[in-house]
Amino acid sequence: MENKLKIGIIGLGTVGCGVVKVLSRFDDIEVAAVAVKNINKKREVEVKKITTDPYEIAKDSSVDIVVEVAGGLAVKDVLIEAIKNKKHIVTANKELLAKHGAELFDLAKENNVVIMYEAAVAGGIPIILPIKTSLKANEFNSVAGILNGTTNYILTKMEEDNLSYDECLLKAQKLGYAETDPTGDVEGYDAMYKIAILANIVFNKRIDYTKIYREGITKISAGDIQIANELGYKIKLIAQAKKVDNSDNLDIRVHPMLVDKNRSISEIKNATNAVLLSGFPVDKVMFVGPGAGQFPTASSVVGDILSIKAELHTNSCVLPMTMCNHSKYANIIDIDDTKNSYYLRISANNEPGVIGKIGLACGEFKINLSCIIQKGVIDNPNATIIVITENCYERDINSMIEKISKDNHIRVENKIRVM
């Protein structure tokens, strides 16, 4: 078939192979070339041309769209070269966009090409284009979600199987959900990059990812999950960005949260992702689906390719609604200035007056308690005390913890915010 859309792909791993497989269903699209690190590696798919030099693809005059599914930051200069050569870009690279998106989008606008990145945020869940099109009439006040399948799988298994974090991480690694080095997932980096991208498009402000508070799930114990369950909560790693008191300030962070079981997002299990948007006039809307995997991610990548294809050669500007038209950076408040309700798990000597000391410390920093529970003590000199506070400033809860921790008989074992 003549005049086929020519695609150049950088990266032929799990996702890259999925993209090739899905594109094979379209007679009017051709994978013209693929760039890989190891040309001799055995792969699931056959391609017309394979090279170890990604710049060949960036400079190839026959290539219409460059698809980047290699990941990492090393591809930045290749994409810059492709953009300068008037190539449209489709990428799944959340780290690159979170760290260098401003530069890349400015360059794309200068060269009248688009960067599409549906697969970079929530795998197979369509979220970027819906925000830019179907939900364009809305003024949003918050976006939040479960944006990392690995951590959600681990927390799900800790709850369902009553296993430790380490045991569930090992399970996730054996199933391929977690990398050998899981730091990017379990310490919240992956979710941080994704919420930076979402906040950018939801609030029309550039986001400095270094100002986003980040905390992973490595301190969550099976005991925390069990206690939360008894109190009517699930523990989830939540990435959220919201306006502060209807001002221009944003509160953006990633950390574990106790989520009320009555909230639908609490029921998101295993590697599934969810994105919850709140605004006017839509009120609340939630997108749920597979957040990773070969074909869910390929679905979003190929969807972006087809969106570009539909407008290619028909307009002077392809998909203008997807271009970045803002240049101001958001003012992101410090975590100390945020207000939250808190869950505290405290270990203390089982002796009179301990709960009184905790109460006095809370009173000193104007922290109201929603509930305080002492778990049963049998043949053990220590008691476990669970405290849930009402909303208070982060700086005040930290000062309270510092105060009671000066007592050698009281130790705050964990602090988790409540959604």
> Which residues are part of the catalytic machinery?
194
Residue 300, SS3 per DSSP: helix
Query: What DSSP state is assigned to residue 206?
Result: B
Phi, psi dihedrals of residue 85, rounded to the nearest 5°: -95, 20
Query: What gap in Å lies between CA 349 and CA 257, rounded to an integer?
Result: 27
Residue 151 contacts residue 217 (beta carbons within 8 Å): yes
> 333: part of which helix (H) or strand (E)?
none
Q: What is the CA angle 109-112-116, rounded to 5?
A: 70
Residue 354 contacts residue 410 (beta carbons within 8 Å): yes
Query: What gap in Å lies between CA 85 and CA 97, rounded to an integer?
Result: 20
Sole residue written with tokens 């791993």: 13
Radius of gyration from C-alpha coordinates of the chain:
24
| Closest C-alpha to 415, from 375, 171, 396 | 396
Handedness of CA 386, 392, 394, 399 (dihedral sign): negative
> 54: part of which helix (H) or strand (E)?
helix 54-59
The torsion region of residue 345 among left (phi > 0), alpha (psi -120 to 50) and beta comes to beta
Give all strands (DSSP E) within 147-225, no chain letters: 213-214
Q: Which residues contact 247 (CB under 8 A, 6 or more apart)?
A: none
DSSP string, 118-158: THHHHTTS--HHHHHTTTTT-EEEEEEEE--HHHHHHHHHH
| Closest C-alpha to 116, from 303, 295, 304 | 304
